Amino acid sequence: MFNFRKKENFAFGAISVDDDRDIHVLHFRRESNRGFFTESLRLARDVFLILVVFILFGVFAVQPVVVDGSSMLPQLEDGERLLVNKLVYYDIRSVSWGHLERGDIVVFWFPKEPNKSYVKRIIGLPGEMVEVRAGKVYINGVELQEDYLDTEHNQSLPTWPAREVEKHHYFVMGDNRDNSSDSRYWGLVPEKYIYGKAFFRYWQPGKIGFLEHGEYQDFDAKKIERLPGGTTPEFENVETP
């Protein structure tokens, strides 16, 4: 009924790597050291590539800047951190973010002291005539409606004579017209001095987000009629009340 006889054991012989070429004999300590060294090299490579990408991104595409001053109130406050789109330097006309437009908040080297950077808003484009009458801006004789301004920072209502914006130059102004050193005082900004336009605020908390671009609904600047000899007509100045 029960078979208590000892089962026969079959001798299979010794195991050798020659029995199967797919068998690998591993020295675990050696392999672990080798794996750690390999992974370290891969990590160093990945970190290096990430740093290269960030450096290239910062050189050619985006740069952080810090607002210093109050000339762009209420849009920008002192100490805020912005991201600047540097692709406008390459004047890519096929997309809006690739070139400069009226209403853009731009960062540029101050023409009088190129070691300083200013942040202002583009008001006048190349070839236009810009004039300020009693605090209101006129482009080629047409009033520019600037909804981004507030009365608190625009009470002096000055008048400035008309000025033509030269080719490859821009007329810029701060939103805080009562306390802004801009093109009214020191002139135009050469296009080559503008190294980016601000598009995103990443500091202070609570105000993080995209910046407001100047919108000018139903605005159509009249074309300037050239006089004989290439001169332009003068606009009548209005005294400050």
- 71, 86, 180, 197: which is the annotated catalytic residue? 71
**Looking at 16, 96, 120, 180, which residue is catalytic?**
120
The strand ranges marked E within the chain are: 62-66, 81-85, 105-110, 113-124, 129-133, 136-139, 142-143, 160-164, 169-173, 189-190, 194-203, 209-210
Q: Please name the amino acid found at residue 234.
A: E
Annotated catalytic residue 120: yes
Q: Locate all alpha helices (DSSP H) within the chain, ordered by sequence.
A: 28-60, 183-186
Q: In this structure, which amino acid lies at residue 107?
A: V
Q: How far does Cα 148 stand from its chain's mean position?
A: 20
DSSP state of 204: S
Q: Could you give the CA distance from residue 117 to residue 106 in angstroms, rounded to a whole number? A: 10
Tell me the C-alpha distance between 73 and 116, whole Å. Answer: 20
Tokens of 28: 């675990």
Tokens 């997309």 label which residue? 95
**Could you confirm whether 223 is annotated as catalytic?**
no
**Measured between alpha carbons, how far is 25 from 104 in angstroms, rounded to an integer?**
67
Report the catalytic residues.
71, 120
